Chain A
C-alpha cells in the first residue's frame, strides 16, 4: 500500500507538471497579450510604449525563461504579479476563493441531500410511475444548461418576488449569506443531484439483486430494514465516485453560474482573466483547478479503499 501511495503521488506531480506546461504554452498561443488589451481600452496602439510595457512585464523573454521564472516562483510561494491590477497574483486570487468554495460545498450538499433519497426511492419503487417520473426529472437535470437554469431562477425571483438575489461581499450574518448563496447553489447543484440520483438508483438496484439481500430476506428480516441497512451502505460507494467526477464538472458549472448571479468568485475571475490575457492569474488559477481535481480524485480513490475492503490497489 505504501509503495502504491508513493507511485500515486509521483504520478500526480507528473500530471500537474504536465498541466503547467500545457497551460503555459496554450496561453501564449492565444493571439494578443495584455498590452493589446490595455491599449485597446485606451483606443489606440503606440508600438514604442507597447514594447516598453512588454519589457517591464518580462513578456519579451523567450518562453522557456518565462516558464522557469514562473515555476521557480511557485516553489517559493510567489505567484507573480497580476498584469492588470499590478498587485501580487496571490492577493487577487486568495480573497476570491472562499465564496466559490462555499458555493461548491453548498452545491454538493444540495446534490447529495436531494439526489440520494430520491435515488433510493426510485430504486425501491422500480418501474412504477413514480420511478419513471423521477427518472425524467433526473434526466432533465442533465439536459438543462445550468446558466439557463440560473437565468430562469433570476427571472422568477424578479417576476414573483420583485427581488433580485445580489451577492454582497459584506453581508449580514453567516446564515443570511448562506441563504443568499443557496439560490445559485441550487442552480449549479441541480445537475449534480441528477447524476447522484441516477447513480444511487442503479447501485441500489445492483445491490438489491444480490444474493445476500435474498439471504437476509430468507432469514426473515422485514423489508424496510433490508433496504436501508445493507443496501445503502454498499450503494454509497459509487456516490463517492460521483463526487470525484463531479468535482471537475462542478467547476464548469460554477463559472457560468457566478457570471449569471454576479458572484465575485474565483471561477468567474478565470473568465475575466482569460479575456484580459492576464497570464499570471490564468496560469495560477488553472493550476489551482488542476490541483483540486487531482487531489479530489485521489481522496475519492482512498475513500473507496476505506469503504470497501474488497478493493485493493495492485497496479
Chain B
C-alpha cells in the first residue's frame, strides 16, 4: 500500500522562504522554521543584554563585601542569596556574564581568526607550508582541549587576557582543519580558475573569492567552539587557573572555595552552574539551527 503525497507548491515555496519581507519577516521566518534555534537566540540575547546593561540591572555592587549578609540564603534583599563575604549572588552572576562572555567570545574569535588564516593559507598555497602546518595541527590535536589550556594557563599566569589566550590557542587546530579542507575543494572550483585566467593575483583570489565561501562552515564551527570555550573557562577556574579575583567569573564562583559550602549554602553552587549551562545550551541551540540553515550536510 503506497501513500500518495500531494505536493502543494505554494505552501512549499512559502516554506522555502519565497515570501519573506523585511527584517522582521526574516526573523519570524527563522523563528518559525527553526523554533529551537529561536529559543537559543533568545537565551543568548538575554545574556548579552545582561552583560551590556549590567550596571542598570544589578541592584548591588558585585564587589562590595558585607559581614552581616555572609552566606545569606535566597530571598529578602539578596534575591539569589549572598556568598561567604556577603557579596550579592545575583549581582555577581549578572556581572559574571560580562567576564564569561568576554572570555568565550574573545577566545572563540581569536581562535577562529587564527585558525581561519592558518587553514586558508595552508589549504590554498599547499606545498611545504601545508605539510608543516598539518603536522603542527596534528601535534596540537593530540592533546585534549583542557590539558592544553591547563598547561598554557599555568605558564602564562592568572589574568583575563592570559585566560583568553590559553583557551584560544587549543581551538585553532579544529578550525584550521575544517577551513583547510573547504579551501582545498574551493581551490579547484571554476570561478577560481576564471579569476586566475583574468590575471588576478593569488592573494586577491584567496581573500576575495575563496574566503567568503568558507565563512559558512566557519560560523557553524565558531558557535560550537564558543560553547567549548565557556566550558573550558569554567573548568580552568574550578581548578584555580582561570580568571582571578576580583572579576566575578561564574567558573570561579563554583571553584573550591564555594564548594566548601556545598551543604551550608547550596545556592552558591547551583546558580552559577545554571548560568553556565544556560549560556552553553543557548549557544548549542542557536548553533544547531545555524548549521541546519547554512550547511545541512553536517546535520547532527
Is there a contact between chains A and B in the complex with CB atoms less than 8 Å apart? Answer: yes
Chain A residues within CB distance 8 Å of chain B: 11, 14-16, 18-19, 22-23, 26-27, 29-31, 132, 135, 139-140, 142-148, 151-152, 154-155, 158-159, 198-199, 202, 205-206, 248-253, 255-256, 259-260, 270-271, 274-275, 282, 286, 289-290, 293-294
Closest to B258 in A: A151
Where chain A touches its partner, the secondary structure class is: helix
Number of chain B interface residues as a range:
35 or more
Which residue of A has the minimal Cβ distance to B266?
A155
- By the criterion CB–CB under 8 Å, are A252 and B235 in contact? yes
CB within 8 Å for A26 and B143 given contacts A143-B280, A145-B235, A202-B299: no
Q: Which of B152, B239, B276 contacts A148 (CB 8 A)?
A: B276
User: Which of chain B's residues have a CB closer than 8 A to the CB of A155?
Assistant: 262-263, 266, 269
Which one, A16, A142, A145, A289, contacts B234 given CB within 8 A? A145
Give residues 195-244 of B contacting A (CB, 8 Å). 227, 231-232, 234-235, 238-239
* Residue pair A256, B238 in contact (C-beta under 8 Å): yes
**Residues in B whose Cβ lies below 8 Å from that of A290:** 142-143
- Shortest B4–chain A CB gap in Å is 15
B257 contacts partner chain A, Cβ-Cβ < 8 Å: no
- The 3 A-B residue pairs whose C-beta atoms are closest, nearest first, are A252-B146, A143-B280, A148-B273
Q: Assuming A148-B276, A155-B269, A252-B144, is B150 touching A143 (CB within 8 A)?
A: no
16 residue pairs bridging A and B, Cβ less than 8 Å apart = A15-B138, A15-B142, A22-B139, A22-B140, A23-B151, A139-B281, A142-B280, A145-B235, A145-B276, A148-B234, A151-B273, A158-B263, A251-B146, A256-B239, A289-B143, A293-B143
Contact A147 B238 (CB under 8 A): yes
Contact assessment for B150 and A271 in the assembled complex, using a CB-CB cutoff below 8 Å? yes
Q: Which residues of B contact A206 (CB under 8 A)?
A: 299
Residues of A within 8 A of B262 (CB): 151, 154-155, 158
Q: Which residues of A contact B146 (CB under 8 A)?
A: 251-253, 255-256
Which of B151, B234, B254: most chain A CB closer than 10 A? B151
Which A residues are CB-close (under 8 A) to B141? 248, 293
Instruction: Report chain B residues within 8 Å CB of A271.
Output: 150, 239
List B contacts of A140 (CB < 8 A).
Answer: 277, 281
* Shortest distance between the CB of A308 and any CB in chain B (Å): 18
Give Cα A241 to B258, complex, Å. Answer: 38
- Residue of A at shortest CB range from B256? A259
Q: Are A26 and B277 CB-contacts (below 8 A) given A18-B135, A18-B136, A251-B144?
A: no
- Name the residue on A nearest B269 (C-beta): A151
Q: Are A202 and B300 in contact (CB under 8 A)?
A: yes
Contacting pair B154 A274 (CB below 8 A)? yes
Shortest CB-to-CB span from B266 to chain A, Å, is 6
Is B64 in contact with chain A by the CB < 8 A criterion?
no
Contact status of A205 and B299, CB under 8 A, knowing A142-B227, A290-B143:
yes
User: B155 on the interface (CB 8 Å rule)?
Assistant: yes
Residues of B within 8 A of A27 (CB): 151, 155
